[in-house]
Chain A
Amino acid sequence: DAKTTQPTSMDCAEGRAANLPCNHSTISGNEYVYWYRQIHSQGPQYIIHGLKNNETNEMASLIITEDRKSSTLILPHATLRDTAVYYCIVRVGGSQGNLIFGKGTKLSVKP
């Protein structure tokens, strides 16, 4: 699976959009980009995933660059409850595929 690079930490003002970047320059054609978050000591929570098209769901939007070497997770209106560690994971499909977590980005949403 491709390696990902994320900033260690980011701050965001409550009510503003939070844009979390992820670099995955060695991604291959059959690898998906997944985003998870972990709030305090809870189990990780799945947010969104995509292959090459931009994706949106009720939680967030995922923007993947045309060359697929980087992506951005967007939380449109961040709240204090969005304070968490956000993990960007690149994963190959197939029976050998599984989640490999890095250290993620610690997002702090401030009032």
Chain B
Amino acid sequence: NAGVTQTPKFQVLKTGQSMTLQCAQDMNHEYMSWYRQDPGMGLRLIHYSVGAGITDQGEVPNGYNVSRSTTEDFPLRLLSAAPSQTSVYFCASSIGVHYGYTFGSGTRLTVV
């Protein structure tokens, strides 16, 4: 039981490049979310999903796309990276609305 697995752990991108942050969970959780955390700040919700095929925007969705084709995977795509997207990204999953979320260990992204 690996929990929530995020890859890669570290990434450096050039401005304008695109990439996909991977998130996978093996707990059969319906709910999955992406957060970003900037220095000295709390986590901010980017996108979330309440099941395969269903996604919705969070607090800061601009510049990011998501899709949920399977229960296990919830990738986050950066369409055209900008320095403002330099951050630590966390993926999380939960079995349901009234249960706690399990978080991954994060992806540290730097855009130069």
Contact = CB atoms under 8 A, between A and B. Distances in A.
A36 B100 CA distance: 9
B61 interface: no
Interface string A39-54: 0011111111100000
Secondary structure of the B contact surface, majority rule: strand
A98 B105 contact: no
Interface in B1-55: 4, 33, 35, 41-45, 48, 50
A99 B31 CA distance: 11
Contact of A45 (B42, B44, B45, B103): B103
Contacts of B109: none
A44 B98 contact: no
30 contacts: A32-B98, A34-B100, A41-B88, A41-B106, A43-B4, A43-B90, A43-B92, A43-B103, A43-B106, A44-B92, A44-B101, A44-B103, A45-B103, A46-B101, A46-B102, A49-B98, A49-B100, A87-B42, A93-B98, A94-B97, A97-B97, A98-B45, A98-B58, A99-B33, A99-B35, A99-B45, A99-B92, A100-B45, A101-B42, A102-B42
Interface of A: 32, 34, 36, 41-49, 87, 93-104
